[in-house]
């Protein structure tokens, strides 16, 4: 949510000489995305986002992220398309950091999605999963089930200060989920893994684009659906809105039908998605110094969501209708 | 340099219903300006900057700032034009804060201005001073000579930790400047008072706009020139580039000829401008907690500039040629 590396007009002009995209007309640092530096760049030809990759993104992962966006955009998905420099490369260096230009997408993020937005999301998610088939680079999901116990350990001695009994509740849930996830055999592929409302753009009710692929990885496709059920279908009072869940699941299934195993796994996957965001938020919460200008997200929001999923007797609780 | 108040899509849509400017197509928080929240807004009709005024801007000053931009833009100056809502008002409320929409200007700030940039700046500054004549609202300059001693007092006990002997050097300079400024009788009017390179936009070598009028006030017009000599004409090694000073002064004088009193006052005004930025940077430096994501500017840069001005025997030191 900040600009960490300042790019001067001279830096920019030298950088743009490597591209055939015109001259800069507007160049503004924007408050967006994970911990990267992002600039909105308008040239005499078009608009772009320039990203300088800072500490949270591993340089070794960049060919995956940029290659994936190109793969998806070529298959018709509305997502940022990496722009190649004159030398054919999309991944460059600027101000000592890995940097890339991608096309700019119009649209505004919705804070409180309607059922209509959830349906549009479900359709786009299924299209993303279909378009991702055939992408050749692999990236394991470091924040899937194997990654949760280390996060819990990192927070362990301090998590009871956030909520009494939290550490024990997390430990018990992890015991359950590690066994449950080990038993799953589900269709896999490229997932977005962070498709929250701030990463989806709308023009009115029409979904105009998916952005921020920097958590994308290989995992069970239905796990992406479970992340979206968590991120899109709860009301501000933390109640699950089954109408929104039904809209999301039905629109998804119309593009990519769910298997019986995927439907049966939804409660487990939803619990997994809830604990994943609970744990990363918990660690960020505990590790962020007071006064830092980083927005801290409440981990307990996901504890309440987790408890809802624990009560779910099947996919019908999320609005699934066969 | 951040977004302090988050405006949701619903907040924005409700706000835009008060205007006749179309629907939002793009809405991005941008890292720009003093401590306000700024968003780049593109609608189906045009582009705008939406500003929510945070703690550093006094609400009572907003009619001056918005009225001044309107006054200047109507007289042909390329600066942001406040956009009036359907009710005729440019100053509104959004998310509990005073807020205003202004037109967006293309252009990129230059980090290392050339003499050509300095000439373009000098011309635009003179045009600003001429266009400001007749503006009816008054705003005293709280950061002119009467404001410096209180800033020095605020830093006093800690300034020697920044540089040994700094407190005594500041005190002696203020003794000199308070007497010297009291003796000045110079043409007055509206000045920008913060026309650093980041507040001036260029498209190539052409100056495309002046922005950020939130320090504008009434003061000696030549004091604005002195601020620009400080901000534009020193090299990275802190040496004064007399070619740039000459370009700035000649271009200014071609539009608004300087009086003999103004020319004679330039060394005094340059010292005043240097101590003003030295003092505000010093206080910010001492008051900013370690780790805060605010960019701290080096106060000693202006101590070195001050020492240059102290040696100047007349306006010729800055490139003035009669």
Of A2, A12, A25, nearest to B31 by CB-CB distance is: A2
The number of C-beta contacts closer than 8 angstroms across A and B is 89
pLDDT tens digits, residue range B165-178? 999 999 999 999 99
B9-103: which CATH number, 3.30.200.20, 3.40.50.720, 3.40.50.970, 3.30.70.3270?
A: 3.30.200.20
pLDDT at A34: 61
Residues of A in contact with B30 (CB under 8 A): 28-31, 40
pLDDT tens digits, residue range B57-68? 899 999 999 999
Contact state of B1 with A3 under an 8 Å Cβ cutoff: yes
Mean pLDDT of B196-205: 95
CA distance A23 to chain B (A): 9
CA distance B110 to chain A (A): 6
Contact state of A2 with B289 under an 8 Å Cβ cutoff: no
Contact state of B32 with A31 under an 8 Å Cβ cutoff: no
pLDDT at A251: 98
DSSP A295: P
CA distance B196 to chain A (A): 14
Pick the closest to residue A214 from A103, A58, A82, A109 (CA basis): A58
Residues of A in contact with B9 (CB under 8 A): 108-111, 202
Of B40, B291, B294, nearest to A40 by CB-CB distance is: B40
pLDDT at B1: 43
Residues of A in contact with B42 (CB under 8 A): 106
CA distance A125 to chain B (A): 22
User: Under a CB-based contact definition with an 8 Å cutoff, are residues B143 and B34 in contact?
Assistant: no
- The residue of chain B with its CA nearest to that of A114 is B10
What residue spans in chain A does CATH classification 3.90.1200.10 cover? Answer: 115-318
Pick the closest to residue A175 from A208, A152, A209 (CA basis): A152
Residues of B in contact with A37 (CB under 8 A): none
Taking every pair of C-alpha atoms in chain B, what is the biggest distance, in angstroms? 60
- Kindly list the residues of chain A whose beta carbon comes within 8 Å of any beta carbon in chain B: 1-3, 8-10, 12, 23-32, 40, 42, 104, 106-112, 202-204, 289, 291-294
Contact state of A31 with B28 under an 8 Å Cβ cutoff: yes
Sign of CA dihedral A247, A250, A253, A254: negative
10-residue averages of pLDDT along chain A (322 residues)? 80 97 95 82 97 89 97 98 98 96 97 97 98 96 95 91 92 98 98 97 96 96 98 96 98 98 98 97 82 70 97 96 86
Q: What angle do CA A85, A89, A90 make, to 5 degrees?
A: 80
Residues of B in contact with A236 (CB under 8 A): none
Helical pair A115-132 and A221-232, crossing angle rounded to 10 deg? 160
Contact state of A28 with B29 under an 8 Å Cβ cutoff: no
pLDDT tens digits, residue range B72-109? 999 999 999 999 999 999 999 999 999 999 999 999 99
CB under 8 Å to A102, separation ≥6 — which residues? A48, A49, A51, A69, A80, A81, A82, A83
DSSP A319: T
- The residue of chain A with its CA nearest to that of B8 is A111
- Of chain B, the end-to-end C-alpha distance in Å amounts to 41
Lowest mean pLDDT among A126-135, B50-59, B284-293: B284-293
Q: A115-318 belongs to which CATH class?
A: alpha beta
Contact state of B31 with A3 under an 8 Å Cβ cutoff: yes
Residues of B in contact with A40 (CB under 8 A): 28, 30, 40
Residues of B in contact with A202 (CB under 8 A): 9
pLDDT at A303: 96
Q: Which residue do the tokens 């000459």 mark? A: B246
Residues of B in contact with A30 (CB under 8 A): 28-31, 40
Q: Which string of b and e fits A154-186 if b means at least 16 CB within 10 Å?
A: ebeeebeebeeebbebbeebbeebeebbeebeb
Contact state of A108 with B291 under an 8 Å Cβ cutoff: no
CA distance B11 to chain A (A): 10
User: Under a CB-based contact definition with an 8 Å cutoff, are residues B27 and A203 in contact?
Assistant: no
Residues of A in contact with B203 (CB under 8 A): 25
pLDDT at A281: 93
Evaluate if residue B288 carries a pLDDT over 80: no
CA A177 to chain CA centroid, Å, is 21
What residue spans in chain A does CATH classification 3.30.200.20 cover? Answer: 9-103
């Amino acid at each position: 949510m900040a600009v960490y590396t300042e790019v001067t007009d001279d830096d920019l002009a030298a950088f743009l000489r490597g591209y055939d995209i015109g001259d800069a007309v507007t160049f503004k640092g924007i408050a967006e995305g994970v911990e990267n530096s992002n600039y909105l760049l308008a040239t005499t030809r078009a608009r772009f986002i320039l990203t300088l990759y800072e500490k949270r993104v591993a340089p070794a992962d960049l060919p995956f992220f940029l290659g994936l966006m190109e793969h998806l955009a070529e298959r018709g998905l509305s997502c940022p398309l990496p722009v190649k420099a004159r030398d054919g490369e999309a991944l460059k260096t600027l101000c000592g950091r890995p940097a890339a230009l991608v096309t700019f997408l119009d649209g505004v993020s919705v804070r409180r999605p309607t059922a209509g937005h959830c349906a549009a999301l479900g359709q786009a998610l299924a299209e993303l999963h279909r378009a991702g088939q055939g992408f050749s680079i692999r990236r394991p999901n470091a924040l899937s089930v194997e990654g949760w116990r280390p996060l819990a350990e990192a927070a362990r001695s301090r998590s009871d200060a956030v909520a009494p009994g939290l550490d024990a509740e997390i430990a018990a849930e992890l015991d359950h989920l590690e066994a449950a996830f080990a038993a799953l055999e589900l269709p896999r592929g490229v997932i977005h893994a962070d498709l929250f409302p701030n990463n989806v753009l709308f023009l009115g009710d029409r979904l105009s684009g998916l952005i921020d692929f920097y958590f994308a990885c290989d995992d069970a496709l239905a796990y992406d659906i479970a992340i979206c059920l968590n991120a899109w279908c709860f009301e501000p009072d933390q109640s699950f809105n089954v109408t929104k869940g039904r809209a999301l699941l039905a629109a998804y299934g119309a593009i990519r039908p769910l298997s019986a195993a995927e439907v049966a796994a939804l409660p487990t996957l939803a619990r997994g998605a809830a604990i994943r965001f609970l744990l990363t938020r918990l660690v960020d919460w505990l590790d962020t110094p007071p006064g830092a200008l980083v927005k801290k997200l409440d981990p307990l929001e996901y504890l309440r969501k987790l408890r809802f999923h624990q009560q779910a007797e099947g996919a019908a609780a999320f609005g699934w209708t066969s």
